[in-house]
Amino acid sequence: MNTVSANESSIRVVTSFSILEDLVNKLGGEHVVVANLVARNQDAHTYQPKPSDAVAIAKADLVVFNGLAFEGWITRLIKNSGYKNKQLIASDGVNAIRNGEEVDPHAWQSFDNIRVYIQNITHTLITLRPQHTDEFTQRQQQYLNSLNTLENNLLKELADIPENKRIVVTSHDAFGYLEREFNIRFLAPLGLSIEIEASAQDVANVIDQIREQNVKALFVENINSPRLLERIASETNAVIGGRLYSDALSDVDGPAGTYLNMMQHNISSLISAFNLPSH
């Protein structure tokens, strides 16, 4: 392939999971062709790579993954594919939450952090196709404008709810960044890894907290079984307030088909739950 056609061709990007797939498509537009590994509504923590994943990576110009030990399988997959082109750790430079030795990898659940992802992706696309710098910069600005509008609207809605009423229970501890940014308290019977079963003591502690603090709603996640939360709900009179999207987008036509829709859906669902009458 001669250099002229190589420069003008689309950037072949492999993304590790659906949120990055959406961001790369929005920021790259017609100049990217994206192959995504962990599908919508699927869990990247427990993903088992397929032979076709290594084939896709071997053909790529750019591999984008979250980092922060979110995709434990990706480094070996890239190595085994023989891939030698550009890699981007999308979370590079975020303000990460640390719990002792562990880093919370769910950094995209923060408006501040996602701006870092957007900057990293745009910068990398410009590096690979500098002749489209103006378009990439324009797409970045449009996306940031939408993000800012959404964040401001959600903050306004949330401002009416006292902080001591902003308590919610979810099935796994994926919302620490949302907690930090919006002063929402999340209780989770499971830790950061959803591979570990919650102990009877963990569940009992959560039930006690729900009763003591009059928590009104529990939320299931699109990547988890709802059984544990259903059990907790039946013992506490709290209601299942709906579904939150933590580590994966919904189907394209679902309530969280894009990153912006996911944030809108999650926070609006929480605000509705906080406004439920006391039981």
Are 136 and 194 in the same domain?
Answer: no
Q: Is 240 helix (H, G, I), strand (E, B) or coil?
A: strand
Q: Please say which residue of 91, 120, 154 terminates a domain.
A: 154
As beta bridge partners, residue 164 has none
pLDDT at 198 (0 to 100): 67
144 and 165 part of one domain:
no
Q: 215 and 91 share a domain?
A: no
The answer on 218 and 104 residing in a single domain is no
In sequence order, what DSSP letters do the residues of 129-157 get, joined into one string?
Answer: -GGGHHHHHHHHHHHHHHHHHHHHHHHHH
pLDDT in tens, the chain (279 residues): 333 334 469 999 999 999 999 999 999 999 999 999 999 999 898 899 999 999 999 999 999 999 999 999 999 999 999 999 999 999 999 999 998 888 999 999 999 999 999 999 999 999 999 999 999 999 999 999 999 999 999 999 999 999 888 988 876 678 899 999 999 988 776 544 445 566 777 778 778 878 888 887 788 776 566 677 778 888 888 887 888 898 999 999 999 999 999 999 999 999 998 887 765
Q: What is the structure's pLDDT at 278?
A: 63
- Stated pTM of the model: 0.87
* Pair (183, 124) in one structural domain: no
CATH at residue 84: 3.40.50.1980
Same domain? For 142 and 214 the reply is no
Q: Is there a single domain that holds both residue 138 and residue 169? A: no
Let me know whether 164 and 143 are in one domain. no
Same domain? For 69 and 202 the reply is no
Alpha-carbon gap, residue 242 to 176, rounded angstroms: 19
Range of the domain at 56: 3-154
Q: Which two tokens stand for residue 157?
A: 């809605």
Residue 183: the pLDDT is 93
- Answer yes or no: is 225 within a domain: yes
**12 beta partners:** 33
User: Max CA-CA distance within the chain?
Assistant: 69
Please tell me whether residues 196 and 62 are part of one structural domain.
Answer: no
Question: 184, 168 in Cβ contact below 8 A?
Answer: yes
Q: Among residues 136, 154, 172, which one ends one of the domains?
A: 154
What's the number of domains the chain is made of?
2
Answer yes or no: is 221 within a domain.
yes
- The dihedral built from the CA positions of residue 221, 99, 95 and 29, taken in this order, carries a sign that is negative
Quick one: 17 and 132 in the same domain? yes
185-187, strands of its sheet edge to edge: 185-187, 167-170, 217-221, 239-244
CA distance 73 to 99: 22
**H/E segment holding residue 228:** helix 227-236
In the structure encoding, which two tokens stand for residue 213, read together?
């603090």
How many other β-carbons are positioned within 10 Å of the β-carbon of residue 27? 22
The answer as to whether 76 is a domain residue is yes
Task: Tell whether 96 and 126 lie within a shared domain.
Answer: yes
Q: Which of 154, 175, 207 is the last residue of a domain?
A: 154
Q: How far is CA 192 from CA 36, 45, 80, 196, 203, in A?
A: 23, 10, 28, 9, 15
Asked whether residue 279 is domain-assigned, the answer is no
